[in-house]
Amino acid sequence: MDHAPDYPVGREPDRYPGSPVRSDRHPMPVNLKVRRAKPGFGYNSQDGFEIVDSIQMGAREMSNKRENLGTDQRQLGLRKPMSRRGMLQSTAALMGTAAVSGPLVTAVAQAAPTKQDAGKATPATKPPIVASDSVAIAETATGKVRGYVRDGIYIYKGIPYGDTTAGSARFQPPQKAKPWTGVRSSMQYGRVCPQGPRGTWNQDEESWIFLYDDGVQGEDCLRVNVWTPGINDNKTRPVMVWLHGGGFVSGSSQEHRSYDGERLSRRGDVVVVSLNHRLGPLGYLNLASYGEKYASSAHLGMLDIIMALEWVRENIPNFGGDPGNVTIFGQSGGGGKVGTLMAMPAAQGLFHRAIVQSGSFLRAVTPERSAILTQAVLDELNLNPSQLDLLQDIPVEKLIAAGDAALQKTHLQGGFVWSRVADSLGWGPVVDGKLLPRHSFDPTAPAISAQVPMLIGTTLNEFTTSLNHPENEAMTEAEIQKRLADMYGNDPEHIIEVFRASHPGAKPFDIFSLAMTAQVRQGAVLQAGLKAAQGTPAYLYWFTWKTPVLDGRPRSIHCIDLPFCFDNTNRSENLTGGGPEPRALAANVSEAWIHFARSGNPNHAGLPTWPAFSAESCPTMIFDTQCKLQNNPDREERQALETTSPFLGFKN
């Protein structure tokens, strides 16, 4: 199977249908490679597959420059009827201008001239990609690295920040990468932490809509990727460090095509960093009770992230970044990692702002739950405490399989309750009184990171959609009453009545989705309130834009915000539909992330005034086709659920 390129081949198209044609560029054919897309009724965990398609491009370009934000936003006014095919045909690759000297290793095919251009001299164009033995060479503490340049953005992938975690290093704290001589080629993503198979490889719709890349697994996986507008230029750009999702058990820095940092780096003049770290039993098998050798084994994935942040502090000035202005941001499990870092003493001083997207895990794994899971793994492997050192020699595939089997036997049964998300996921950092002295946001926000402002939010429908299950659209009132009773207990009729009053005309499944997702939103509201109580700003958002693909059935699904905060809506067109509307919303969302990273305040000219959170008014920025600020937009709905077990779980 061919390896998918980082971007569709070809330049960004010039116009949307009906707009003026520029004379200096021509629409180009684009070979589009689409990658893959977890299961369970109503809970979509977004994995994927690979298909290949080719389309002819012809669309009006939109700027990815910050100074042209207003132009991007005005594209929202271009609401001409457009077919689904037209939306897909308006997808675009990235824009940029900078040229780099040196011999080219990679060339880009140019569009064939039109008939009217035949016979005319064609002016030389600047190649979008420059890869050369003498270009994009940067210094790190362990040696020189060489990346490549795409439209003026320097890109480095797979730089080691730590040594291999295989063999005798398994279940041990990370060690710094060994130095190398010469120049290390760093153009390809590094190894992904070994993990089990995706739950939705056989789900066709998810495999199509989510453009995943599983990469190549290996225990030598402690790698960082960097996107920057400049190197060795003495600039002090804000640094944005991305922590991937997948709970604490799966995922990588490359699994979503939307994770690519090029557009975000260019739009905001920021340095974007992403990383891989240990997951599942390799990162969180709690062997601490079996001796000092394994004292930190329940936190290895988090210690990896801390080492990566130390790498940033030491090396990022050479990549044009400011180690004194680092924002950590993550979605789903990545958001949970952000919250956990805020409570870990070893991480303090390594970051200065924090963004949590659909990942307000207020509590960590308890020692009791962790001990049960650890014993189940040892039972699967038929090992007793005197044989623990054999764990370092067991084939990694066998270890991962034992971890998956143990999780299936010990994880919490029943509905997925957000207030107990850490225990439900099983693998994750444990409150041990040392490395993680307390729960991250229970009962209060951690005092050791009180000075760190936060940006926090969720999507409208999160895990409860009809993706993979079109039959859910026909769900009846009686069915949703039963399902809501299973989750929330008695009086589902009252819950339905309250939600329908706020959403008149909504079909039964819409009411069910909103009611189920309210507990995820409640976690974000509580986290913002706990941060605000420290006297430090927290900004709350609610991403409510719904994708038009698959007849809109995915709605505002978990992960829908990713292409928008990275400004990659066309790169993720199977999810967003592509075209001007999502591109314009992406301008608003990514600019908010950039402004927050730069100053700790997400306000910018494209949005209504966005006040910091207060418990009294619960100001919430609604990200949609028309962005707006609303106070307490769902107060009645959340009040209707506050005495139910899932909501009471936030307080117990």
Does residue 411 carry a catalytic annotation?
no
Whose tokens are 């629409």? That residue is 27
Cβ contacts of 546 within 8 Å, gap of 6 or more: 460, 461, 552, 554, 555, 556, 560
Dist CA 48 CA 227 (whole Å): 25
Among 558, 581, 595, 637, the one annotated catalytic: 558
Dist CA 202 CA 199 (whole Å): 8
Of the chain, the end-to-end C-alpha distance in Å amounts to 50
Strand partners, 150: 129, 153
Does residue 469 carry a catalytic annotation?
no
How many C-alpha atoms does 12 have within 13 Å on its Cβ side? 22
The DSSP output letter for 359 is: -
Dist CA 487 CA 480 (whole Å): 11
Cβ pair 276, 225 in contact under 8 A: no
Does residue 493 carry a catalytic annotation?
no
Instruction: Decide the pairing of beta strands 143-146 and 137-140.
Output: antiparallel
Dist CA 608 CA 112 (whole Å): 45
Q: Which two tokens stand for residue 637?
A: 């709905």
Cβ pair 387, 587 in contact under 8 A: no
Residue 486 amino acid letter: D
Residue closest to 418 by CA, chosen among 499, 332, 338: 332
Q: Which two tokens stand for residue 471?
A: 């039959």
Q: Which two tokens stand for residue 627?
A: 């962005």
Dist CA 117 CA 540 (whole Å): 53
Cβ pair 48, 212 in contact under 8 A: yes
Dist CA 172 CA 169 (whole Å): 5
Cβ pair 210, 258 in contact under 8 A: no
Question: What would you report as the CA-atom Rg of the chain, rounded to the nearest whole angstrom?
Answer: 24
Dist CA 457 CA 453 (whole Å): 14
Among 206, 255, 462, 581, the one annotated catalytic: 462
Q: Which two tokens stand for residue 565?
A: 């905060």
Whose tokens are 């890109």? That residue is 155
Q: Can you give the three-state secondary structure of 268-282, one letter per residue?
A: HCCEEEEECCCCHHH
Cβ contacts of 492 within 8 Å, gap of 6 or more: 480, 481, 482, 484, 485
Dist CA 525 CA 377 (whole Å): 36
Among 250, 258, 274, 332, the one annotated catalytic: 332
What is the DSSP track for 436-466? Answer: S-S-TTSSS--GGGTT--EEEEEESSBT-S-
Dist CA 576 CA 547 (whole Å): 5
Catalytically active residues, by annotation: 332, 462, 558
